[in-house]
Amino acid sequence: MQLQVVTTSLVVGLLAVGALGAYLTTSIRDGVFDQRLEEILMESARSTEQAQAQFDSATAGTGTQVQQLLNDMLPRLRTSGAGSREVFLWRPENSTASAAVIDLTTAPALNGLVSPQMREQAVRGEGQVWQSVAIPEDPGAEVSGVVPGIVVGSLVEVPLAGPFELYYVYSLKGEAETLGFIQRILGAGGITLVGMLGIITWITTRQVVQPVRNAALVAERLADGHLDERLTVRGQDEMATLARSFNEMAASLRDQIRQMEQLSALQRRFVSDVSHELRTPLTTIRMASEVIHSYREGFDPAVRRSAELLALQLDRFEDLLADLLEISRFDAGAATLDAERRDLRDVVDRATDQAVALAERKGVFLSAEYPPEPTIAEFDPRRVELIVRNLLVNAIEHAEDGPVEITIRYDREAVAVTVRDFGVGMTTEAASHVFDRFWRADPARARTSGGTGLGLAISLEDAHLHAGWLEAWGRPGSGACFRLTLPVRAGIVLTSSPLPLVPETSRPRAGGSTGPTTGQVPIVVIDRHGPSALPDLEALTADGGPDRPQEVS
């Protein structure tokens, strides 16, 4: 900004000084020329009058005497002016006078300066005529500089010889030198002025820009979390006021952030404490409920139903409590990763085995496509199993009798598993919220299926713990796809996934597309060897798909 202001003022200053200089030079030159011309015209008119008076009073009788008279007159005319000038005394070309008198000139080399037109005007007796000329500085030389000059001509009456052309050649060398000097002074003055303008602008903008720069720096530090960073307040000017207001704003921001941090820590502690405290009474209730549940056959139907409901709701309660404890462990930064080298296919198998019962109940067809070779990576099997199980349970619950497809692939850097269903699906907006805590697209559904909306939030934390990705895609009516990508080894930063998130087809895979109809026993196919047209290893390293994560941290 400082450079921009200085450049602008320099350019504007240069233009202004240039225009002013040009105007001043022209005015001075015209003024000097006009004044000098006036002097020259007056001086030459006076000289001509004096010469005419001398001619009139001369008593020359012969041509020789007239020639002598002219010869005497010439040097006098040359020096009678204020400065030196050259004088030409020429007999007009068409003169018919009797006395043969030859032309006289004090500088024969300059004869060419008098143009024929000027001579014609002078001979016509139009009084005093003048013309601007360029006088060679060294008339003898081939290449010579020129100085400006003025030629003034008039007609004088010489006894016996008749009318004679009288020319004076004045040099304006002195004036030209003065003008050059003034131009140099103006140029130097202009450059000094522009230089000073640049320096003044630099200093002034620096005074304004420096505090703004400091403020930007401090704002950056504040944004980086250094909440105690402040601006230095100097003096009482506008900048000091700005700095004071800035500091007040920063202090108020810091207070609010600290307050919120305290509040949030308090909330986390509260959730964690309450969850812990609830565990003991819940264990007692659970034991009592199991006793009641085991005697349910002896109860009348209404009481038996209550005993069953009690056991069911206790299950949900326990799940919720476990989720809350897990979340509070993440919040407290106490979650640890027990990573080991494992085959992802085994872990996904275990998760699938746990979901099979639910799939059967819901009439959902499960199909899986695994690579034929071991899909080894470093991960925490317990956490990954939980993630996949949650994805599977979600998919089965939202599959609407359609199939659910599990796919595993790997490349040099990552292993990935996708869980795809063809059920209710979700909007892009919903896909960006599924990882939020307690978020459910349809809270009414949760009441029937028992979801609390914490499953994906925990899964995402688990994926992050592995430096992995958990992403969601969905389209209403076309189903949803969740992709978990984990680095093969700790320390690898993921750049792509071996599997696409946005499915290539919106229809179920061949074989699974028909799926079981309601009422039929679902078929669970775990295809260990995958389809015959499995891509080769090189192809597997290609990027997972055009979309980037809709992951919400």
Looking at the Cβ atoms of 214 and 449, the one nearer to ligand ATP is 449
User: Residue 462 CB, nearest distance to ligand ATP (Å)?
Assistant: 12
- Which entry of Mg ion, ligand ATP, none binds 153, CB below 5 to 8 A by partner kind? none
- Which entry of ligand ATP, Mg ion, none binds 403, CB below 5 to 8 A by partner kind? none
| Rg, Å, the chain Cα set | 54
- Which entry of ligand ATP, Mg ion, none binds 17, CB below 5 to 8 A by partner kind? none
DSSP category for residue 88 = E
Looking at the Cβ atoms of 97 and 430, the one nearer to ligand ATP is 430
Specify the pairing of strand 479-487 against strand 469-475. antiparallel
Other residues' Cβ atoms within 10 Å of the Cβ of residue 445: 14
Other residues' Cβ atoms within 10 Å of the Cβ of residue 170: 26
SS3 state of residue 156: strand
C-alpha span between 269 and 72 (Å, rounded): 127
Q: Does 522 bind Mg ion (CB under 5 A)?
A: no
Looking at the Cβ atoms of 73 and 460, the one nearer to ligand ATP is 460
Q: Which position among 455, 498, 503, 512 is part of the footprint of ligand ATP (CB under 6 A)? A: 455
- Restricting to residues 144-203, which ones interact with ligand ATP according to CB under 6 A? none
Q: Does 552 bind ligand ATP (CB under 6 A)?
A: no
Q: Does 424 bind ligand ATP (CB under 6 A)?
A: yes
Nearest to 473 by CA among 453, 502, 435, 442: 502
C-alpha span between 536 and 530 (Å, rounded): 12
* Beta carbons of 530 and 370 less than 8 angstroms apart: yes
Q: Does 441 bind ligand ATP (CB under 6 A)?
A: yes
User: Residue 393 CB, nearest distance to Mg ion (Å)?
Assistant: 6
Q: Which position among 149, 402, 425, 455 is part of the footprint of Mg ion (CB under 5 A)? A: 455
* Beta carbons of 422 and 478 less than 8 angstroms apart: yes
- Which entry of Mg ion, ligand ATP, none binds 389, CB below 5 to 8 A by partner kind? none
Q: x-or-dash pattern for ligand ATP, window 268-307, by CB under 6 A?
A: ----------------------------------------
Stretch that binds Mg ion, among 126-134, 168-176, 279-287, 450-458 (CB under 5 A): 450-458
Dihedral sign of CA atoms 287, 289, 292, 294 in order: negative
C-alpha span between 379 and 456 (Å, rounded): 18
Q: Does 418 bind ligand ATP (CB under 6 A)?
A: no
Other residues' Cβ atoms within 10 Å of the Cβ of residue 287: 10
Looking at the Cβ atoms of 101 and 355, the one nearer to Mg ion is 355
Q: Residues binding ligand ATP: what is the number (CB under 6 A)?
A: 23
In one letter, which amino acid is 136? P
C-alpha span between 551 and 241 (Å, rounded): 44
Other residues' Cβ atoms within 10 Å of the Cβ of residue 172: 21
Q: Which position among 201, 394, 478, 485 is part of the footprint of Mg ion (CB under 5 A)? A: 394
The DSSP string of 411-425 is -SSEEEEEEEE-SS-
Looking at the Cβ atoms of 472 and 486, the one nearer to Mg ion is 472
Q: Does 468 bind Mg ion (CB under 5 A)?
A: no
In one letter, which amino acid is 160? L
Dihedral sign of CA atoms 9, 10, 15, 18 in order: positive
Nearest to 467 by CA among 380, 370, 550, 407: 380
Looking at the Cβ atoms of 194 and 454, the one nearer to Mg ion is 454
- Which entry of ligand ATP, Mg ion, none binds 421, CB below 5 to 8 A by partner kind? ligand ATP
Looking at the Cβ atoms of 222 and 364, the one nearer to ligand ATP is 364
- Restricting to residues 330-389, which ones interact with ligand ATP according to CB under 6 A? none
Bridge partners, residue 79, by sequence:
none
Q: Does 423 bind Mg ion (CB under 5 A)?
A: no
Looking at the Cβ atoms of 123 and 322, the one nearer to ligand ATP is 322
Q: Does 454 bind ligand ATP (CB under 6 A)?
A: yes
* Beta carbons of 420 and 407 less than 8 angstroms apart: yes
| Helix H or strand E encompassing 51 | helix 2-57
- Restricting to residues 320-339, which ones interact with ligand ATP according to CB under 6 A? 323
C-alpha span between 381 and 415 (Å, rounded): 13
Interacting residues toward Mg ion by CB under 5 A = 390, 394, 455
Which residues of this protein are in contact with ligand ATP, per CB under 6 A?
323, 390, 394-395, 398, 421, 424, 426, 434, 439-442, 446, 451-457, 474, 480
